[in-house]
C-alpha cells in the first residue's frame, strides 16, 4: 500500500530535479533563458508548448537532467496539471521551479495510486517525490489522497471479498482508529427495524447477510451531520435480472458506502467540530427462492409502504430505511452518496455526478467546493412535478417510476420522501467508476464528489483560526 506522505515532502533545499512549468504565453520568454544545448534539444524533439506535454532537458552531467512541462495556464494550475509527470517520471525527487505546486500536489500523488492486490507479480517502481515549501498543505492533501485511495480500493475489490461483512470491517477499522462508536444491526433486528434493507438482502448467502452499519462520533453539543451510503455489494438486479453486460461492473454498487466511510474518516481524523452519524445500508441484491419480488409491497422503517415495480431499483429501498434512521436524530444536514441510476450517466456521463439538494445555499456551497477541489458536480432539479410518476395503485409509493423518462429525478424524489422536513439534504448520484484512464485518474474505482463534499463540510464547520 502506498504511503502518500512519502510522495510530498517539505522543501529544505535538498537535491532534486527541477521541473520548469510553461504555457503558450510564457514559453518563448522562458526559451530565451535556456542554454544553446537545451534549445537545440527541444527543437530536435519537436517540442511545442501544447498543454500537458513534456520533455527532458539534458544537463552538463548525464545525471543532472531537468524537465519542462506545459499547462494551459501557469498561474492557474488544476489538481491534474502535474499528474502525468507523477505517473511517468523515474523515481526520485523533483522541485517545481519558480512557484508553488498548489492544487497540483494532489494529482501528483493520485497518479501514483496502484491496485495490485490480485496480481501475482508486481513490478516495483520507486516513488516520485515532489518538494514544496508550502508545508501546511502537505498533511491535508495527504489525508484527502488517503480517502480517495480508500474509495478506489473498496470499489476495485471483487464482490466476493467486499460483501456486507467486509464493508463492516472497513467501518470497524475507521471507528476504532478515531474513537467512534460502531453499531451493526442485522438478523431479526434488521428485519424488524429496517425491513427494506432486509428484504433487498435476504436472498444472499449467510456470509453476505444484510446489515445497517453505523458510526457515531463527536461531541453532543456540536452540529449533527449524517452521512448515508448505499452499500449494495453486488447487484444482480434481483428477479428483474440484469443482462451480463449490465452486471459486469456491479461490484462497484457499494461505491456510495465507500464514499461515506472515506468522508467520515476525513471528518474524524481532522477533528471537525460536528456530531457525526455515518450510516451504511449494506446488502447483496441476489437471486434465490427467498428473493423479494416485483409486485411485493414492503413496509419501510418510516412506515410508508412501497410497491416493488422493479427489483433492480433496490438502492433507493436500502437508502430509504437508512435516511429514515438518520432523520430520527434530527441532524441539521444529511448527505447521501449512491450509485443509484443509469439515467444519471445518460444525462451527465461518468465523470460528473448529479447533485440534488433541498436547499439552494447548500447546493451552491457544494458546487463551489467542487470547483475548488477540481471535483465537479452538476445540480439537477428536485422537481415535484414528476412526483406523480411514483404513484401506485395499492401502496403509498412505488420504487420504480411509471415512465421511462426522468429516472434520476424520480429516484431523488423517492429518497426525498424519507428526509424529514426542515433538514438540509444533498444527494449525490455518483458513478464511483472511471471507464477510461486520465492522468491521475486511473481506470476503475473512483471517488467522484468525495472531495467536493469534504471541502463543503470544512468551509461550513471548521472555524479553527477564524475570528
Question: pLDDT tens across 241-260, in order?
Answer: 999 999 999 999 999 999 99
* DSSP reduced 3-state for 186: strand
User: What is the rounded CA–CA span in Å between residue 377 and residue 383?
Assistant: 18
Span 124-178, pLDDT tens digits: 889 999 999 999 999 999 999 999 999 999 999 999 999 999 999 999 999 999 9
Order of strands across the sheet with 297-299?
Answer: 297-299, 305-307, 397-398
Q: Higher-confidence residue: 453 or 1?
A: 453
Looking at every residue in the chain, the average pLDDT score rounds to: 96
What value does the mean pLDDT take over residues 360-365?
98
The pLDDT of residue 341 is above 60: yes
Confidence of residue 464 (pLDDT cuts 50, 70, 90): low
User: What is the rounded CA–CA span in Å between residue 293 and residue 12?
Assistant: 64
Span 82-94, pLDDT tens digits: 999 999 999 999 9
Confidence of residue 61 (pLDDT cuts 50, 70, 90): confident
* H-type alpha helices, 89-228: 104-110, 138-156, 164-178, 187-193, 195-201
At residue 87, the pLDDT reads 94
Please identify which of the residues 230, 251, 316, 451 carries the catalytic annotation: 316
What value does the mean pLDDT take over residues 11-34?
95
At residue 1, the pLDDT reads 60
At residue 124, the pLDDT reads 81
Integer angstrom CA distances of residue 294 from 307, 350, 437: 8, 29, 38
At residue 439, the pLDDT reads 95
Q: What percent of the chain has pLDDT above 70?
A: 99
At residue 466, the pLDDT reads 46
Confidence of residue 59 (pLDDT cuts 50, 70, 90): confident
Pairing of strands 354-357, 424-429: antiparallel
Q: Is 242 a catalytic residue?
A: yes
Please identify which of the residues 24, 242, 299, 434 carries the catalytic annotation: 242
Backbone angles phi and psi of 66, in degrees to 5: -130, 180
Confidence of residue 401 (pLDDT cuts 50, 70, 90): confident
The pLDDT of residue 311 is above 50: yes
With contact defined as beta carbons under 8 Å apart, do 363 and 442 qualify? no
Q: Is 316 a catalytic residue?
A: yes
What value does the mean pLDDT take over residues 51-63?
87
What value does the mean pLDDT take over residues 37-61?
90
What value does the mean pLDDT take over residues 184-203?
98
What value does the mean pLDDT take over residues 394-403?
92
At residue 52, the pLDDT reads 82
Confidence of residue 235 (pLDDT cuts 50, 70, 90): very high
The pLDDT of residue 296 is above 60: yes
At residue 465, the pLDDT reads 40
User: What is the rounded CA–CA span in Å between residue 365 and residue 90?
Assistant: 39
Count of beta carbons in the 10 Å neighbourhood of residue 32: 8
Integer angstrom CA distances of residue 315 from 85, 198, 398, 412: 39, 12, 13, 11
At residue 373, the pLDDT reads 97
At residue 63, the pLDDT reads 84
Amino acid at each position: 500500500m502506498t504511503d502518500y506522505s512519502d510522495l510530498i515532502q517539505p522543501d529544505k533545499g535538498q537535491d532534486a530535479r527541477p521541473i520548469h512549468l510553461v504555457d503558450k504565453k510564457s514559453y518563448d520568454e522562458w526559451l530565451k533563458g535556456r542554454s544553446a544545448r537545451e534549445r537545440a534539444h527541444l527543437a530536435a524533439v519537436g517540442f511545442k508548448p501544447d498543454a500537458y506535454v513534456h520533455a527532458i532537458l539534458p544537463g552538463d552531467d548525464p545525471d543532472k537532467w531537468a524537465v519542462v512541462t506545459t499547462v494551459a495556464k501557469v498561474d492557474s494550475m488544476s489538481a491534474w496539471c502535474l499528474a502525468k509527470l507523477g505517473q511517468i517520471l523515474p523515481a526520485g525527487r523533483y522541485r517545481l521551479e519558480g512557484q508553488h505546486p498548489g492544487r497540483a500536489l494532489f494529482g501528483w500523488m493520485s497518479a501514483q495510486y496502484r491496485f495490485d492486490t490480485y496480481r501475482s507479480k508486481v513490478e516495483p517502481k520507486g516513488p516520485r517525490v515532489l518538494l514544496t515549501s508550502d508545508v501546511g498543505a502537505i498533511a491535508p492533501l495527504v489525508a484527502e489522497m488517503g480517502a480517495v485511495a480508500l474509495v478506489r480500493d473498496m470499489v476495485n475489490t471483487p464482490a466476493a471479498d467486499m460483501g456486507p461483512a467486509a464493508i463492516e470491517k472497513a467501518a470497524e477499522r475507521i471507528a476504532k482508529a478515531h474513537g467512534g462508536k460502531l453499531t451493526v444491526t442485522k438478523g431479526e433486528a434488521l428485519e424488524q427495524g429496517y425491513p427494506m434493507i432486509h428484504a433487498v438482502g435476504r436472498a444472499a448467502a449467510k456470509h453476505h447477510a444484510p446489515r445497517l452499519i453505523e458510526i457515531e462520533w463527536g461531541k453532543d453539543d456540536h452540529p449533527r451531520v449524517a452521512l448515508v451510503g448505499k452499500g449494495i455489494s453486488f447487484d444482480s438486479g434481483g428477479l428483474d435480472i440484469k443482462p451480463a453486460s449490465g452486471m459486469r461492473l456491479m461490484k462497484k454498487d457499494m461505491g456510495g458506502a465507500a464514499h461515506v466511510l472515506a468522508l467520515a474518516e476525513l471528518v474524524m481524523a481532522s477533528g471537525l467540530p460536528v456530531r457525526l452519524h455515518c450510516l451504511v445500508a449494506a446488502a447483496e441484491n441476489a437471486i434465490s427462492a427467498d428473493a423479494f419480488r416485483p409486485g411485493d409491497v414492503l413496509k419501510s422503517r418510516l412506515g410508508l409502504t412501497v410497491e416493488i415495480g422493479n427489483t433492480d431499483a433496490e438502492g433507493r429501498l436500502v437508502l430509504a430505511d437508512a435516511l429514515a434512521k438518520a432523520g430520527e436524530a434530527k441532524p441539521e444536514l444529511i448527505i447521501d452518496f449512491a450509485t443509484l441510476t443509469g439515467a444519471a450517466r445518460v444525462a451527465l456521463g461518468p465523470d460528473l455526478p448529479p447533485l440534488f439538494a433541498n436547499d439552494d445555499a447548500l447546493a451552491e456551497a457544494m458546487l463551489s467546493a467542487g470547483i475548488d477541489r477540481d471535483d465537479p458536480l452538476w445540480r439537477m432539479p428536485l422537481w415535484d412535478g414528476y412526483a406523480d410518476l411514483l404513484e401506485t395503485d395499492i401502496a403509498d409509493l412505488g420504487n420504480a417510476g411509471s415512465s421511462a423518462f426522468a429516472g434520476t429525478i424520480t429516484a431523488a424524489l423517492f429518497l426525498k420522501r424519507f428526509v424529514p422536513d426542515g433538514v438540509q439534504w444533498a444527494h449525490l448520484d455518483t458513478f464511483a467508476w472511471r471507464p477510461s484512464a486520465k492522468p491521475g485518474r486511473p481506470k476503475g474505482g473512483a471517488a467522484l464528489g468525495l472531495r467536493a463534499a469534504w471541502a463543503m463540510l470544512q468551509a461550513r464547520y471548521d472555524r479553527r483560526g477564524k475570528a
